[in-house]
A and B are shown apart, each in its own frame.
Chain A
């Protein structure tokens, strides 16, 4: 399930495709295929979480786990890590796919969705990732902004509206603070880089 941005049709003569991936979908697909391959009865619940419908022997688990390593997918056993992964997945989903969720306060959305207090989630997240949830949200938003600038050719005003920023200046400042460069410089660099290649 590749989502190929419409922008690439313009570039096709350069014999180079610019792709946009839905990493979650890819991972899910890979996971699904691998589980089937190993004959494991399962149910993929959410991002990075698979419920097994049968007990697995240590051997089968190891071979499955080895197979997944090829795709850099790791079976996380640690409960903390699982929760952090859930937080990340929720945030990513919130930013990239769920525009209505973006309107809510992220803290409320997270605690609602994951069933833990925000304070707990926040501490856990910082402990495991060396960064804060807020920071992570910003990084994800800026990442989405980058994609929108490059693939959708949206201007900053449209993006600020789409991502529910209070002003263009706010988004612009956040972009600059996060990446160290202005959105226009970013766009210029990526465009020139593509021309160079």
Chain B
């Protein structure tokens, strides 16, 4: 299962957040390939394309123009071919109800965007590591819930 790198996709309309996200992964030891999309429509177009490479983890911002993170989540969960993708919600807000709702809808990870870069790095590292555990150690992915 392990390739040389971990495939990561982020869909977020905020340029700064995309920058932080990429910078954080650049500084991590883990070898990753990060792809970013500006909104849900671009993301879904990519995922639905024939030759697309599915990410190991897909980070979704909830608030996006055109197609929101929730809509993407719904579409992805409906389609069986995406079943191996771990979905991480990556959002500014974190109300208990929002979190539970997205988990119930099938998200695996909920990340409240951290306030500083160090935390961001830590969080992303943890996500990737734990997700990797799920891929490599036969953990039941259906029970994979992580909130950071």
Contacts and interface: CB of A to CB of B under 8 A. Distances in A.
B137 interface: yes
Contacts of B2: 74
A74 B104 contact: no
B110 interface: yes
A115 interface: no
Contact of B1 (A24, A72, A130): A72
Nearest to B139: A143
A136 B130 CA distance: 9
Nearest to B110: A180
A36 interface: no
A130 B29 contact: yes
A28 interface: no
Interface of A: 21, 23-24, 27, 72, 74, 88, 92, 129-131, 136, 139-140, 143, 146-147, 150, 179-181, 185-186, 188-190, 192-193, 196
Main SS of the interface on chain A? Answer: helix
Interface residues of B, number: 26
A189 B30 CA distance: 31
Contacts of A21: 138, 140
B133 interface: yes
Interface in B1-49: 1-2, 29-30
Given A88-B137, A139-B130, A185 B100 contact: yes
A181 B112 CA distance: 13
Given A130-B129, A139-B133, A193 B104 contact: yes
Contacts of B148: 180
Contacts of B125: 130
Contacts of B139: 139, 143
Given A92-B138, A130-B129, A180-B110, 6 more contacts: A129-B132, A130-B29, A131-B129, A181-B145, A193-B106, A196-B104
A181 B147 contact: yes
A70 to B, nearest CB: 12
A185 B2 CA distance: 32
A148 to B, nearest CB: 11
Given A72-B1, A74-B1, A130-B29, A92 B143 contact: no
Interface in B86-129: 99-100, 103-106, 110, 125, 129
Contacts of A92: 137-138
A180 B30 CA distance: 22
